[in-house]
A and B are shown apart, each in its own frame.
Chain A
Amino acid sequence: EVQLVESGGGLVQPGGSLRLSCAASGFTVSSNYMSWVRQAPGKGLEWVSVVYSGGTTYYADSVKGRFTISRDNSKNTLYLQMDSLRAEDTAVYYCSRDSSYWGQGTLVTVSS
């Protein structure tokens, strides 16, 4: 059974950093395209970043240069390193496997 479990969210001050994790089971992370999608409170969905099986990565302009997507094949885990956080990054962050499977999300709140 495919499962995605996000962790690492929390409250952080503007300018701070967080690393989100997405532990996967039931499939191999490196063999699929994996994404981070976020949803600000009461708002719609925004694709943040994607990493394809071959290693190519893409970022939304709103996070380019501040966020880094990566994966640890030995742990079968996807990560999102978030630096220079801003208030507008406040959202629930979801991990997804090729848009067909989604985790439960982890809340990131950027506030002083």
Chain B
Amino acid sequence: DVVMTQSPLSLPVTLGQPASISCRSSQSLVYSDGNTYLNWFQQRPGQSPRRLIYKVSNRDSGVPDRFSGSGSGTDFTLKISRVEAEDLGVYYCMQGTYWPYTFGQGTKLEIK
């Protein structure tokens, strides 16, 4: 199985400041069709996961533009330009290139 490793696992942030989460896969996530199926999810306390980013850098509908995704191959990053209170929660990267699809361990974004 493809192992997804996130860092850090805990990210204390100051509101209004930027934040960055790293995700590394144990093998390249480039699929045979040329696409890289790396997604980012947000899970607020008590809520279902919500997809923020698909195929590395595409924001889902309704996702604020302060969220951005980047990366290639095995190294990926989710950035929040200015953290707001509603951004607190756990963030997961997930690969959809190989079955079984796998998630990272999750990064808990919390107020410093």
Query: Which residues of A does B touch, CB under 8 Å?
Result: 35, 37, 44-47, 50, 58, 60-61, 94, 99-100, 102-105
Q: How many A-B residue pairs have CB under 8 A?
A: 41
A100 to B53, CA, bound (A): 9
Q: Please measure, in the bound complex, the distance between the C-alpha atom of A59 and the C-alpha atom of B99, giving whole angstroms.
A: 8
Q: Which of B60, B99, B100, B102 contacts A100 (CB 8 A)?
A: B60
Range of interface residues on B (Cβ < 8 Å): 20 to 34
Interface status of B31 (Cβ within 8 A of chain A): no
**B79: CB under 8 A from chain A?**
no
Tell me the bound Cα distance from A101 to B103 in angstroms. 17
Taking Cβ atoms with an 8 Å cutoff, the residues of B that contact A are 39, 41, 43, 48-51, 54, 60, 92, 94, 96, 99-106
- On whether the beta carbons of A103 and B48 are closer than 8 Å, the reply is yes
What CA separation (Å) do A8 and B49 show in the bound complex? 20
29 pairs, A vs B, C-beta closer than 8 Å: A35-B101, A37-B49, A44-B105, A44-B106, A45-B41, A45-B43, A45-B49, A45-B92, A45-B94, A45-B106, A47-B100, A47-B101, A47-B102, A50-B99, A50-B101, A58-B99, A58-B100, A60-B100, A61-B100, A94-B48, A94-B49, A99-B39, A99-B51, A99-B94, A99-B96, A100-B51, A100-B54, A103-B48, A105-B48
